[in-house]
Structure 1
Amino acid sequence: MAENIFIKEDFLLHTEFAKRLYHDYVKDLPIIDYHNHLSPQMIAEDHQFENISQVWLYGDHYKWRAMRTLGISEEFITGNATDRSKFIKWAETVPFTMRNPLYHWTHLELKRYFGIDALLGKENAEEIYDHCSKQLTQSSHSTKGLLSQMKVEVVCTTDDPLDSLDYHLEEQNNPNLKLLPAFRPDKAYAVQNTTAYNHYLNQLEEVSGIQIKTFDDLKEVLKSRISYFHSRGGRLADHGLNYLPYFEEEGFNVDHMFKKVRGGKELSLLEIEQFKASVLKFLCKQYHKNGWVQQFHLGALRDNNSRMLNLLGPDTGFDSIGDFKQAASLSKFLNHLDSTDQLSKTVIYNLNPADNEVIAAMVGNFNDGSVKGKVQFGSAWWFLDQKDGMEKQINSLSNIGLLSCFIGMLTDSRSFLSFPRHEYFRRILCNLFGQDVTLGELPRDEKWIGKLASDICYYNAKSYFPFK
């Protein structure tokens, strides 16, 4: 096997101060992963994967996009090729991913989970496939084993209001891992497709036992599902939006809109946004009432390729960065909640790097001294969770706000092998501090800066989220 000569002990750490900061202060801290898309069932059942393709390639649209770009047939990506064949095609792709974060992530994951200190490529694909697949049959590489290896303390999954949360309930007494739900009600206001929306409301009726004929009925059902999530340990909500819409309630009749949709009629584009804003206002006030943290992921332009959407469905690698206007409506929405002191702890993530300073400045408007870092500029997300994107997010937050209050990294991943991304973030953070100290732009106060780094990587999140 070709030797991995770049991911060594001091990978990404370019100064002696950075090396001490990482190795002595943050390397061994536990992980609080407060937003991901892992399967709660797989965790509760301590699922054992049959081979590395199942844990590494299934659902990973980052890898899928790279393989398609290289000209690899869909048969080896989401098609009917064998798992071994899919892995070999991915291995052939890896050398071509240099300077894409996939190159770093791939080798970090092989090294951390499987002890492989080699560069993956066509020539060693079969050998690595067999080596990793054999380890995956062992208890150390079950889902819980993989989480334990990375010292994962908390996992917050992403869950629809319809979900039973039975698997979260099964894990409530697990002393080694908190498996907690996060409320993701995007479908509860997705009125752009009347047929799909009514089908979803019918499902909500079944789950809640409440008929949904009016907008007040919808609010009652959502309130009951929030209470249900709360009883299962849920303390977070999350929303994926182009932008956070805001309208004054006096300008439209939301109940009329709701009855219109319930009757099978389409809403105008303006009505769709007004309806979303009304539901979101209600939900956010409920989150505050329950003491939850709310998260907003803003700026994804989804399902760009209609042909591939029809073939493969959503979340298959055809989303990208959008250029939506963010500041004005975001300001009005947050101010609406804050004006009656109903603004919860809030984390805002942007997908367009052009909005870094916009978000970093916006969160400072609503930090009122009641809570440390009450409104957060969330970690670099999706297309931005790579070295350059993380550094830019960290620098924007440092320049405009307080990096010391930041709640740090998350995986936002469907893969059980994604947790070295926390290591990646920690190394990048320590290297930035180290560069500043080495250049004489910060004092050589290792103990204090070590505390700040430790807080950002673990302790701030531990105190910020109201986990029980």
Structure 2
Amino acid sequence: MTQFLHQDFLLDTEEARRLYHDVAADLPIVDYHNHLPPAEVAQDHAWDNLGDLWLSHDHYKWRVMRWAGVPESHITGNATHRKKFDAFARILPKTLGNPMYHWSHLELWRYFGLDGQLLNADSAEDIWQATQEKLASPEFRAQGLLKRMKVELIGTTDDPLDSLEHHQTFSASAQSADLKMVPTFRPDRAMAIEAEGFHSYLEQLEALTSQPIVTFDDLIKALLQRLEHFTAHGCRAADHGIGQLTQAEELSSAQLDKILQAGRQGKALTSTDAESFRMALLLELGRAYARADIVMQLHIGPLRNNSSRILTHVGRDSGADSMQDLPLAAPLNHILDRMDRTDELPRTILYALDPSKNPVIVTTAGNFQGGGVAGKVQAGTAWWFNDQLDGMEDQMNQLAQMGLLSTFTGMLTDSRSFLSFPRHEYFRRLVCRIVGRWVADGLAPQDQELLDGMIADICYHNARRWFIS
């Protein structure tokens, strides 16, 4: 009988096993996009129990708990961390078939050495006690958990208003010699012109930059001042969360000024005006990223906060998001071309939440290669609902067949959890299975130097070249 999550899990050919165990398994991790709290890294945060560490910020787990019938009091409510852990332990067997079942056991096994133990209602007490003993030791604080997984870099996600004091503190510490923590510029709130808090946000930006924001150019100047602050603190990338991308009109400065003023006054804007404003802002920021030689990431396609009940009682980003199903190809090509036509397109990574858009992403990326940069525009890894076996395999196969898998910057956690890094192992096993099957099927030569280099690049070196070297 095949053992669950055994040593050769997913590795179904001899070549896949060799590639994983000899090449991929021990490579460091460059996790260039996540949502870890910088303060917890800099302060080397400690947790009292697994319930807090595992469940306080992980909306993936919240989502499956709700689906399995756990009351909100035992997910995000006032129940104790122990009761929340017990609730999760009870429902985890129900997640069989969902990647949560694999991820959770890999986390228990890789961090806590509980190999072979399955979490359920019967084992919850023993696992709770075993993890309690571990969490009491210094190596299970935040930095120790990252080092345990050989994490070399984490790219946090930060608002332009952030002081970056925790990044500065950490970069000055001895620990930064082995682990780099760099900020990522995420100006979504500056682009949400129809949002209720837009005027208040710009007031804070004005105060921070001593830059009155009356015109569109004023807004750009203020944001670029903050971008300079970010790059001075090691920023390697910017990130934009885009629910909907449209082929907006190209407006004059006077028109953009008028829209900005209307947004600051809380006036209703047409969807055309709002999208035109956003795309103009994205265009100017993209050009600035190119000048600063930082990577632009576009996360396209979530439909967020769909449950009014959860939004009211729990808050934003609490596990009530889904995929958009809107057209993408024309507006995406249009905005990238506007930067590319003047040679102002930065290195770019594109992510689509709708997996049916993967071919659009890959073929769009192929349109804008050049400048002597390998994979200058990337088809980013399978994202969010898609970072499961079928989703990742489909994304990589489409990238391989329509583009170049060899230049792929690989996996990231996109997570708020310090225990999420075994997802890199999950990905590495899968990419080794894909390439191993190519060899077994006669689709790739059994050329060890060629295959080893490709796997090492996808799992580590390509990301390292983009975000560290």
Same fold (TM over 0.5): yes
Q: CA deviation at 1:447?
A: 2.5
SS in 1 for 2:161: coil
2:131 alignment partner in structure 1: 132
Runs of 4 or more off by more than 2 Å in structure 1?
243-252
Q: CA deviation at 1:248?
A: 4.0
Q: 2-side partners of 1:4 and 1:236: how far apart? A: 43
1:49 alignment partner in structure 2: 47
Q: CA deviation at 1:399?
A: 0.8
* Contact 1:169/1:232 (8 A) holds in 2: yes
Counterpart amino acid of residue 19 in structure 2 = L
Gaps of 5+ in 1: none
* Contact 1:65/1:317 (8 A) holds in 2: yes
Q: 1-side partners of 2:210 and 2:359: how far apart? A: 45
* Contact 2:244/2:300 (8 A) holds in 1: yes
Of 250, 257, 265 in structure 1, the residue corresponding to residue 259 of structure 2 is 257
Cα shift readout 1:327-349 (whole Å, capped 9, x = no counterpart): 00000000000000000000001
Alignment of 1:330-345 (within 5 A): 330-345=332-347
Counterpart amino acid of residue 440 in structure 2 = T
Q: 1-side partners of 2:123 and 2:273: how far apart? A: 56
Q: 1-side partners of 2:199 and 2:147: how far apart? A: 42
* Contact 1:182/1:236 (8 A) holds in 2: yes
* Contact 1:161/1:183 (8 A) holds in 2: yes
SS in 2 for 1:421: helix
Residues 1:185 and 2:184 aligned together:
no
Q: 1-side partners of 2:251 and 2:301: how far apart? A: 27
Q: Provide TM-score, normalisation by structure 2.
A: 0.97
Q: 1-side partners of 2:76 and 2:2: how far apart? A: 29
Q: CA deviation at 1:369?
A: 4.5
* Contact 2:251/2:276 (8 A) holds in 1: no
Q: CA deviation at 1:249?
A: 2.4
Q: CA deviation at 1:463?
A: 1.2
Q: 1-side partners of 2:305 and 2:22: how far apart? A: 44
Q: CA deviation at 1:307?
A: 2.0
SS in 2 for 1:81: coil
Q: 2-side partners of 1:262 and 1:350: how far apart? A: 30
Q: CA deviation at 1:262?
A: 2.1
* Contact 2:13/2:437 (8 A) holds in 1: yes
Q: 2-side partners of 1:250 and 1:122: how far apart? A: 60
Of 53, 74, 78 in structure 2, the residue corresponding to residue 76 of structure 1 is 74
Q: 2-side partners of 1:261 and 1:382: how far apart? A: 31
Cα shift readout 1:97-149 (whole Å, capped 9, x = no counterpart): 11100000011100000001201000011111121122112111110000000
Counterpart amino acid of residue 66 in structure 1 = V
Q: 2-side partners of 1:137 and 1:5: how far apart? A: 31
Of 113, 116, 120 in structure 1, the residue corresponding to residue 114 of structure 2 is 116
Q: 1-side partners of 2:2 and 2:242: how far apart? A: 40
**Structure 1 stretch displaced more, 306-315 or 17-26:** 306-315
Cα shift readout 1:149-206 (whole Å, capped 9, x = no counterpart): 000000000000000001111122420111000000000010122x410011111122
2:272 alignment partner in structure 1: 270
Alignment of 1:286-297 (within 5 A): 286-297=288-299
Q: CA deviation at 1:95?
A: 0.6
Counterpart amino acid of residue 211 in structure 2 = I
* Contact 2:248/2:272 (8 A) holds in 1: no
How many residues align? The count is 464
SS in 1 for 2:220: helix
Alignment of 1:53-452 (within 5 A): 53-117=51-115, 118-173=117-172, 174-193=176-195, 195-250=196-251, 253-452=255-454
Q: 2-side partners of 1:264 and 1:410: how far apart? A: 38
* Contact 2:214/2:257 (8 A) holds in 1: no
Q: CA deviation at 1:264?
A: 2.9
Of 422, 443, 455 in structure 1, the residue corresponding to residue 457 of structure 2 is 455
Counterpart amino acid of residue 122 in structure 2 = E
Identity of aligned residues (%): 48
Gaps of 5+ in 2: none
Q: 1-side partners of 2:463 and 2:406: how far apart? A: 12
Of 23, 35, 51 in structure 2, the residue corresponding to residue 25 of structure 1 is 23
Q: 2-side partners of 1:313 and 1:94: how far apart? A: 24
* Contact 1:4/1:119 (8 A) holds in 2: no
Cα shift readout 1:312-358 (whole Å, capped 9, x = no counterpart): 11110000111021100000000000000000000001111100111
Counterpart amino acid of residue 85 in structure 1 = K
